[in-house]
C-alpha cells in the first residue's frame, strides 16, 4: 500500500482514488479492454509517459500503479531535480529491491524539464526492471523527450475531464466521511456544482480545492448546515482556461481557428479567437495567420480580404490589447463570410514545383531586356473587354491559374476565358 499522511493534506490529495474502479475519466485509455488498463491489471508495467492538462489524473494513476504492484512510490519533480538526485533515487531503488524485494515506482513530474543526460540516466534501470518509470507532462512528449526513452515507453494522452466527471468527483468528496467533507452538513445547489465543474476547465484538482475553500469559509446556519450556492461558487473559483502558448494547445487552437474561418463558420472562429485571447496569445501571431489565410483560402474571390487582413495586422500592432481584440474580431468575421478560393495557392505551388523539378526554361528572346521583337500591348488597338492587348507568348510551360466561378474571381475567370479565345 502507498502510505500517505492525509491529516493535513488538501482535499484533492485526501480523496485521491486508490483503485482503477474509483478512477474517474480517461475512458479512452483506461476503459474496459483498453491497452493501458490491461497493462496495469497485468502488473507487468512498462515505462509510461502520461501527458495532458493538469488535474486530469496523471499523478493519481501513478499512486494506483504503485499500490497495484506493491511498489515503493517515489515522486520527483523535474523542475527541481538533478542528475545527482536521480542517482540517489536509483540507489535507493536497488536497496528496496535487494532488501525488501519491492520495486520502486519512480514518478517524474514535468519530465519535459529533464535534459538529455537526465533522461538517459533513467534508461539502464528502466531496462533492468529495477524501477517502474512513469513520466508526466502537460506537453506532447514527442517534442521534448529523447527517442530512446520514447521507444521504450507506452505514451498515453490524458484529456480534460468532462463536466459530468467533475460533478461526480465533487459529489463523492461531499459524501466521503473519512477523507472528504462528509462530516460537514453541506447543502450545495446544482447551479453551484455546474459552475465549479465548468469553471475548472476539466481540472479536478482545481475543482476540489475550490469546493473545500467554499465549505471551510462559508459560515454555518443556526441549524449547522452550510449552504453552498452559486454566489459562493463564484467567489471561490474564477473561470480559467488551460491554454499553453508553447505547445500542442497553441497549435491546435490556432488550427481550429483558421479551419473555422476557412470553413465559413464565424461563430466557431470567434470562439477559438476568444480562447486564444483569453489565454494570452500574442494578437500579432493571430493577425499574421489571418493575412496568410486571406491569400491562401480567399485569394481573388475577394481581393479586399487581403487588404483588410493586412490593415488588421497593422492596426493590432498600433493599438495593442485589449482593443486589438475588436479589430481581430472584425477581420475574423469578414474573412469567415467571404467567398473562398484556393486557386492562387494551388497556382503558385504548382509553378514552384515545376521550377524545382522540370527542365529549365530559358526566357524567350522576344521578352528579354531591350528585345527588338517584343510587342508592346499598348501599341495595338484597344480591345473593349481587355484593353491594351496583343497576341504574344510569355514563356509559361503550362497553365497554372484556374480561377473559380465565385465572388470577384468570377470576373477574372471570364476575363481570362475571353483572353484565351482571342489569343488563338
Ranges 244-248, 277-281, 364-368, 401-405: which has the least confidence:
244-248
pLDDT of residue 329: 95
pTM higher than 0.75, yes or no? no
- The average pLDDT across 374-402 equals 86
Sign, CA dihedral 95-98-102-108, equals positive
Is the domain 26-157 a CATH 3.20.20.80 member? no
pLDDT digits (tens, 9 = 90+) for 49-94: 999 888 999 999 988 988 888 888 888 888 887 778 888 888 888 8
Domains of the chain, by residue range, sit at: 26-157, 163-236, 248-336, 360-423
pLDDT of residue 311: 95
Peptide bond before residue 322 is cis, with ω within 30 degrees of 0: yes
What are the two backbone dihedrals, phi and then psi, of residue 403, each rounded to the nearest 5 degrees?
-60, 145
pLDDT digits (tens, 9 = 90+) for 126-141: 888 888 889 999 888 8
Q: Is 372 left (phi over 0), alpha (psi -120 to 50) or beta?
A: alpha
> Both ends of the chain: CA-CA distance in Å?
87
pLDDT digits (tens, 9 = 90+) for 298-329: 999 999 999 999 999 999 988 888 889 999 99
Say what percent of the chain tops pLDDT 70.
Answer: 95
54-66 b/e (C-beta count within 10 Å ≥ 16 → b): bbbbbbbbbbbbb
Q: What is the rounded average pLDDT for all residues in the chain?
A: 87
For 4, 128, 188, the CA distances from 17, given in Å and listed in that order, are 12, 30, 22
Query: What distance in Å separates the CA atoms of residue 416 and residue 194, rounded to the nearest whole number?
Result: 59
pLDDT digits (tens, 9 = 90+) for 196-253: 998 888 899 999 999 999 999 999 988 889 999 999 998 888 665 555 555 556 778 8
Question: Domain 163-236 has what CATH class?
Answer: mainly alpha
Q: CATH number for the 248-336 domain, one of 3.30.460.80, 3.40.50.1820, 2.102.10.10, 1.20.272.10?
A: 1.20.272.10
Amino acid at each position: 500500500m502507498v502510505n500517505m499522511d492525509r491529516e493535513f493534506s488538501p482535499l484533492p490529495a485526501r480523496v485521491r482514488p486508490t483503485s482503477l474502479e474509483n478512477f474517474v475519466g480517461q475512458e479512452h485509455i483506461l476503459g474496459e479492454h483498453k491497452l493501458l488498463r490491461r497493462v496495469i491489471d497485468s502488473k507487468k508495467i512498462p515505462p509510461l509517459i502520461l501527458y495532458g492538462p493538469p488535474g486530469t489524473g496523471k499523478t493519481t494513476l501513478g499512486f494506483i500503479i504503485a499500490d497495484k504492484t506493491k511498489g515503493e512510490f517515489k515522486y520527483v519533480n523535474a523542475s527541481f531535480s538533478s542528475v545527482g538526485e536521480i542517482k540517489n533515487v536509483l540507489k535507493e531503488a536497488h536497496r528496496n529491491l535487494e532488501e525488501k524485494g519491492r520495486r520502486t515506482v519512480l514518478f517524474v513530474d514535468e519530465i519535459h524539464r529533464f535534459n538529455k543526460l537526465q533522461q538517459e540516466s533513467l534508461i539502464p534501470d528502466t531496462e533492468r526492471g529495477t524501477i517502474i518509470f512513469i513520466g508526466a507532462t502537460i506537453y506532447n512528449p514527442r517534442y521534448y523527450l529523447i527517442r530512446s526513452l520514447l521507444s521504450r515507453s507506452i505514451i498515453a494522452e490524458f484529456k480534460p475531464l468532462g463536466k459530468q466527471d467533475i460533478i461526480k468527483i465533487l459529489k463523492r468528496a461531499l459524501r466521503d466521511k473519512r477523507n472528504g467533507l462528509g462530516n460537514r452538513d453541506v447543502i450545495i445547489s446544482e447551479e453551484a456544482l455546474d459552475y465549479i465543474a465548468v469553471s475548472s476547465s476539466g481540472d479536478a484538482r482545481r475543482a476540489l480545492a475550490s469546493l473545500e475553500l467554499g465549505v471551510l469559509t462559508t459560515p454555518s446556519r443556526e441549524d449547522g448546515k452550510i449552504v453552498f450556492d452559486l454566489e459562493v461558487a463564484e467567489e471561490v473559483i474564477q473561470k480559467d482556461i488551460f491554454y499553453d502558448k508553447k505547445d500542442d494547445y497553441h497549435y491546435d487552437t490556432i488550427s481550429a481557428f483558421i479551419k473555422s474561418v476557412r470553413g465559413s463558420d464565424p461563430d466557431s472562429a470567434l470562439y477559438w479567437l476568444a480562447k486564444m485571447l483569453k489565454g494570452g496569445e500574442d494578437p500579432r501571431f493571430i493577425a499574421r495567420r489571418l493575412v496568410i489565410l486571406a491569400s491562401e483560402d480567399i485569394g481573388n474571390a475577394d481581393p479586399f480580404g487581403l487588404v483588410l487582413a493586412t490593415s488588421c495586422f497593422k492596426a493590432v500592432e498600433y493599438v495593442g490589447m485589449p482593443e486589438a481584440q475588436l479589430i481581430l474580431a472584425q477581420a475574423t468575421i469578414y474573412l469567415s463570410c467571404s467567398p473562398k478560393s484556393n486557386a492562387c495557392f494551388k497556382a503558385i505551388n504548382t509553378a514552384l514545383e515545376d521550377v524545382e523539378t522540370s527542365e529549365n526554361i530559358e526566357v524567350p528572346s522576344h521578352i528579354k531586356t531591350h528585345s527588338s521583337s517584343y510587342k508592346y500591348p499598348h501599341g495595338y488597338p484597344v480591345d473593349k473587354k481587355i484593353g491594351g492587348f496583343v497576341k504574344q507568348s510569355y514563356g509559361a510551360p503550362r497553365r497554372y491559374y484556374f480561377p473559380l466561378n465565385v465572388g470577384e474571381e468570377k470576373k477574372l475567370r471570364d476575363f481570362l476565358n475571353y483572353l484565351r479565345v482571342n489569343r488563338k
